[in-house]
Amino acid sequence: MKPDWEGFGRAIMDYWPEGDVDGLELQDLAEYYAVIVKVPGGYDPEKHGEDFADYVDPVDKWYLRNYDEEAER
């Protein structure tokens, strides 16, 4: 599934001009509009690098960009 950039942009603009989008809302919108996708099985330090090992545990939810051709799926 390709990202729905128009839907994502419209959803973000619903907050304008008087509101703002916090990080959790942004992540929810990005997932809903397929800008990011959840990785089956969650975080795996062998696949996703150990840079985040201090912040997440193996099998914690993990997301990747759905528009980066180099992103591992």
Which residue ranges make up each domain of the chain? 5-65
Q: What does DSSP say about strands 63-65 and 36-38: parallel, antiparallel, or unpaired? A: antiparallel
Q: What six digits make up the tokens of 54?
A: 């201090």
CA distance linking residue 39 with residue 73, whole number of Å: 7
pLDDT digits (tens, 9 = 90+) for 17-69: 888 889 899 999 999 999 999 999 998 888 888 888 788 888 889 999 999 76
Beta strands in 1-73 (DSSP E): 36-38, 63-65
CA distance linking residue 7 with residue 16, whole number of Å: 15
AA identity, residue 72: E
